[in-house]
Structure 1
Amino acid sequence: MCNVIFVILISILLTGVHGRTIPAHQQIVTTIEDKNGQVYECVDFYKQPTFTHPLFKNMSEVKRPSEYAVQGGKYRDIAFNGNGCPSGTIPLLRVNKNYSSEELKSNGPNICTAVVRTRTDPNIKFFGGEGSPSTYKPVADGPGQWSSARIKLQNGPDSIEVGWMVNPTLFNDKEAHLYVRFTAGQNGCINTQCPGFVHVGSEVPLGLIPDHYSQRGGQSYAWKFFIDQQDDGNWWVSMDDDKYAIGYWPKTLFTGLANAATEVEWGGEVSFALEEKVLPEMGNGRFPLYDTKSSAFMQHVTVVDETLHNVNPTNTEKFKSCQALYGVIDAGYQGDYFGHLILFGGPLLP
């Protein structure tokens, strides 16, 4: 009888609130809701998905969030109205658990980007990038469609990025969500869908929805993002002027990006199936103009150069992978308010 009771108790502990099985390394401590009603599972910091990766064989070397020098203070209750996850845990948004990196590649064989990027020069290295994309909610309705605005750093087969993304298949809604993404050779994924990103910040969770969306012709809102290679060699993602730390990709995850990036880019990206008749929107769904009221934009675009300072990128070029569909404008440095300004969006209406 005791054995039977023990088995039942274990079964209950390993089953989520909706009856689904939770992997042993992701057993939840509690669940909470954010301001938008999204449900997050509070998971022990050391039991987040990334720590199943072989590169974390010696867990004693991994610090808890409070031990990181770059961990900022309270972030004005951006998500949880002061009732976040318990100390020692991090929030993981409930998403489509079956969404994989392969689905990211295969569901939308047509990838369109409209970006400004640094010109490739093997003698120039970058150790970070900054940008503030205006927050919009572009329509991406078709099977496998998604739309993002992001900063991306790359070196050979490795890339890392941060921004917002509308991805109904992954997030189960049509809102824009805070996301990170990496590729390391043939592997990679969004957020914590696979081992890779170490989620440190507990008050700015991945999957966060903006409090306000920009309105075409009206008020504009933006999120400010940083990617920096810190003294520990890891690539850190942070947000806001105070650089509140969200988390990092370990240096040992990469080959090309192990030491520096060779390219930084800013702008939009969409994906859709080749047979789709209605294209997903990028930015605010309109082709860009030299007007921040009418167009989606990325302001305060900078790179971290070899002096480890954030500087205005000067040797840049525009790149569009789908020439006639989506557009991008490099407006250059526009003074202190906008800094280096990029405008992007689409599709081009017939």
Structure 2
Amino acid sequence: MGMAGFTVALMLIGVIIYPCIYGKEFSDHQEIKVQSLLKRLNKHALISIKSEDGDIIDCVPIHSQPAFDHPLLRNHTIQMRPSFIPESTSTYTKKKTKATQAWHKNGICPNNTVAIRRIMKEDILRSNSIESFGKKITSSIPEDNPSKNHEYAIMNAMQGTYFGTNFIVNMWKPEVQVPDEFSLAQTWLVSGAGTTRNTIEAGFQVYPRIYGDNNLRLFVYWTADGYQGTGCYNNACQGFVQRSNSIPVGGTFTTVSQYDGDQSELSMLIWKDGENWWLKVGEELVGYWPGQLFNSIGNGATLLQWGGEIVNRETDGKHTATDMGSGHFAEEGYKKASYFRNLMTIDETNTLREPQGISPQTGHDNCYNIKAGDVGTSWGVNFFYGGPGQNERCP
């Protein structure tokens, strides 16, 4: 082989080898970033409890939880309990259901620890990128509808200033067509606009991309800049302060409603206590969003909403078949459609009041719809919502 031929051969070898070396370096770099994130988010646990659904729940000392790594919370004084809990005068809404999650079969965390769902390497790798782990890809506020690929069936409270909400929500396990879609039932408390928008969100969701399964899970979310960079689901970033040793955000619920059968429901209460916004699910104080995270919602939310949301990826050019709620339309009613009942708002005097003048909002009624329930009953202000997505009227 002549010198020219030898040079060409070396160049060809270089072309073949270089991508392999570069690919390995890139992979190693990503692995380092993933392991660094896992180390940052998963704190040392006194004990860990394995759940039948595959989750691992870490029992972390209260003051060691990841929330306090947030720069704004380095000097945060943890609020051990709220100074007050708004209570309804209705004997019916006082009837609470205890929240139970799958991991409870194997125990709960000891006192002076908090229950935190361990984040696994696989959870991070399912994200579009390491940087986007646990974050929303686009704005997820119903008033921004039509947000790309998001569909809603929600009720809006009339314009006002709100310091919390209380309600009972019907729990279902909706079918989700593809892993990058979700189906949820939640409340939104919102203030500000654009990049100054603050949100506090909580509810129940099925979201395979986040959790790796189709289980119904408790979730929380927040943002202080209109989803630009702050905020995330659950404990995927620093912020939400876990206080419960038995109900972690992200945990699976095993008891759900059955079509034309037994119905499962839970009460949810969010309210402002001092600077912080607390979350109570059933009888359990789950935790709070510290006031230091936000800029405008400290003066109250100006937008309050309840209802369902799905993501529609239009797989194969068709509307998704992802269920919202039970997967049945609102007019089917009790035991068949999903519902929110006993809706209450909290005003500046910490008083629970029934919302006045609620208004529905949907995108495509042939896919998912909403219907106000009867008034003057023990259900108070209520509504049914949901749908199957793709059907003969929603191609």
> For the superposition of Structure 1 and Structure 2, which TM-score range results when normalised by the shorter chain?
0.7 to 0.9
- Aligned partners of 1:234 and 1:319: how far apart in 2? 29
2:287 is aligned to: 247
Q: Identity percentage over the alignment? A: 26
Structure 2 segments unaligned to the other structure (5+ residues): 1-33, 86-97, 140-146
1:62 is aligned to: 78
1:205 is aligned to: 248
2:113 is aligned to: 89
2:95 is aligned to: none
Change in 2 beyond 3 A, CA 1:313/1:255: same
Deviations 1:116-144 (A, max 9, x none): 01123xxx211101121111111113141
Larger radius of gyration: 2
Match of 1:234 among 276, 286, 289: 276
1:116 is aligned to: 155
- Aligned partners of 2:170 and 2:176: how far apart in 1? 17
1:254 Cα deviation after fit: 1.1
Change in 2 beyond 3 A, CA 1:315/1:213: same
Question: Does the CA contact (< 8 Å) of 1:151 and 1:265 recur in 2?
Answer: yes
Any idea what SS the aligned residue of 1:169 has?
helix
Deviations 1:89-121 (A, max 9, x none): 22221341354367632699401111001123x
Please say which of residues 141-150 and 270-279 is displaced more in the overlay. 270-279
After superposition, where does 1:166-185 map in structure 2 within 5 Å?
166-185=206-225
- Aligned partners of 1:105 and 1:194: how far apart in 2? 15
Change in 2 beyond 3 A, CA 1:147/1:25: closer
1:313 aligns with 2:355: yes
TM-score, normalised to structure 1, is 0.82
Deviations 1:241-263 (A, max 9, x none): x4x21011111211221220112
CA RMSD in angstroms comes to 2.7
1:273 aligns with 2:305: no
- Aligned partners of 2:68 and 2:352: how far apart in 1? 31
Change in 2 beyond 3 A, CA 1:80/1:20: farther
More strand by share: 1
Match of 2:48 among 8, 31, 38: 31
1:297 is aligned to: 339
- Aligned partners of 1:289 and 1:191: how far apart in 2? 33
Any idea what SS the aligned residue of 2:184 has?
strand
1:42 aligns with 2:84: no
- Aligned partners of 1:42 and 1:97: how far apart in 2? 21
Question: Does the CA contact (< 8 Å) of 1:226 and 1:239 recur in 2?
Answer: yes
Any idea what SS the aligned residue of 2:263 has?
coil
Please say which of residues 101-110 and 129-138 is displaced more in the overlay. 101-110
Equivalent AA in structure 1 for residue 211 of structure 2: F
Equivalent AA in structure 1 for residue 60 of structure 2: V
More helix by share: 2
